[in-house]
Amino acid sequence: MNTEQLVELVHARARRRFQRGLKRKPMGLIKKLRKAKKEALPNEKPACVKTHLRNMIIVPEMIGSVIGIYNGKTFNQIEVKAEMIGHYLGEFSITYKPVRHGRPGIGASNSSKFVPLK
């Protein structure tokens, strides 16, 4: 898939970003992914490439790569699939722990911690 076909698939914000050119850091990530793919054995997953670039748009060249995306605390590993093209890396690494409503937390009284057996 060439650049013109990719530009037709993605949203306006991504089109503008590609039109203005890839900067040094995103190009560095793509080079690291190429290197990891080249060094991987045939029929094996490439080595994980860690990154803080949550605003990087996934391009077809990244398909099959394993990327560790930083969420502010840890690196969440994802394997890039074809359906992910045009999305941002940050969409696949959640930065917060979802709220679990209805559970007793810190400072809850003993009566609210009670869970009946039946």
Closest CA to 70 of 88, 56, 50: 50
Average pLDDT over residues 69-79: 96
pTM above 0.75, yes or no: yes
What pLDDT does residue 13 have? 92
Average pLDDT over residues 5-12: 86
* Separation CA 83–CA 63 (nearest Å): 9
- CB-based contact 58:86 (threshold 8 Å): yes
**Which tokens is 12 given?**
């306006």
Do residues 75 and 84 touch, judged by C-beta distance below 8 A?
Answer: no
Question: The tokens 């045009």 sit on which residue?
Answer: 86
**C-alpha closest to that of 70 among 84, 82, 54:** 54
